[in-house]
Amino acid sequence: MVGSRLDGRVVLVTGAGQGIGRGVALALAKEGARVGIAGRTMAKCEAVAEEIGGLGGAAVALECDVARREHVDAAVAATVETFGGLDGIVNNASTAPQKLLAEVTDDEVTEVWQIAAMGTLYGMQAALPHLRERGGGAIVNFGSSTAVDGNATFGAYAMAKEAIRGLSRVAAREWGRYNIRVNVIVPNASSPPSEAFAAAHPDRFARIQSMLALRRVGDPEADIGRAVVALVSDDLAYLTADTLMLTGG
């Protein structure tokens, strides 16, 4: 059953074909939002859109490589054309190469920077005129605890993720006059990258989880998606330029 908390609102989610992005899209749709499902693999996006349709929600699948501005512009335009406007964007798409800082290459840094940092910027810029037209809205970007904590082997990823937090604070200052709220979530949730990390480094992964206050990995929909719902809704209408640490303590 689809609820009505976000009835009439339209939100685009990047990287929505799997993991956290899929969880966020499902949570939004279950509260009545109409959702643009953007990702590089169209089959995955279509599967999520069909899943939402099966729940009684509305979604459109969009093939989108966020590293390419024209793809992001097209995804935003298609969402607006399909649903009549835009009330929020969730810039979730990213990649997370792991290598010791002394060994990381220019190409690896450039790739994660283009996808995570530049992809987030592209999404924000493309969404801006549509959010202004609606009289405001919500932008939700994603940081990383690996960057906040400075975890080894995540140097290139940390560069991009901390840049996103700085970018988000600037946007919140510049766009607050338009009633556009910009916040960042730092998540700890199950996703293909985290599952790959757990498989490659089981002892380290178990040690990290044992240090969490809640002693568990977050659920993409229940723990992260529901928080995005709150940010997109009117419940947190006075929160902007901030970071929610959804890391289980």
Residue 108: inside a domain:
yes
Indicate which CATH number applies to the domain containing 222: 3.40.50.720
Calculate the average pLDDT of the chain: 96
CB atoms within 10 A of CB 175: 20
Give the count of beta carbons closer than 10 Å to the beta carbon of residue 201.
14
Residue 3, domain member (yes or no): no
Instruction: Give the pLDDT band of residue 76 (cuts 50, 70, 90).
Output: very high
The domain tally of the chain equals 1
Residue 94 domain flag: yes
CA distances from 23 to 150, 174, 191 (A): 26, 30, 10
Q: Which residues are registered as beta bridge partners of 37?
A: 13, 61
Query: What confidence category does residue 146 fall into, taking pLDDT thresholds of 50, 70 and 90?
Result: very high
> Helix or strand or coil: residue 129?
helix
**Quick one: average pLDDT of 156-176?**
98
238 belongs to the catalytic site: no
Q: Residue 1 domain-assigned?
A: no
What average pLDDT does the segment 72-79 reach? 98
- Asked whether residue 100 is domain-assigned, the answer is yes
Domain contains 171: yes
Instruction: List the structure tokens of 182.
Output: 């910009």
| pLDDT for position 1 | 63
Is 5 a domain residue?
A: no
With 80 as the cut, is the pLDDT of residue 195 above it? yes
Of the listed 122, 157, 178, 238, which one is catalytic? Answer: 157
Expressed as residue numbers, the domain containing 151 is 10-246
Asked if residue 134 lies in contact with residue 89, where contact means CB atoms within 8 angstroms, the answer is no
Mean pLDDT of 147-167: 96
The answer to whether residue 2 sits within a structural domain is no
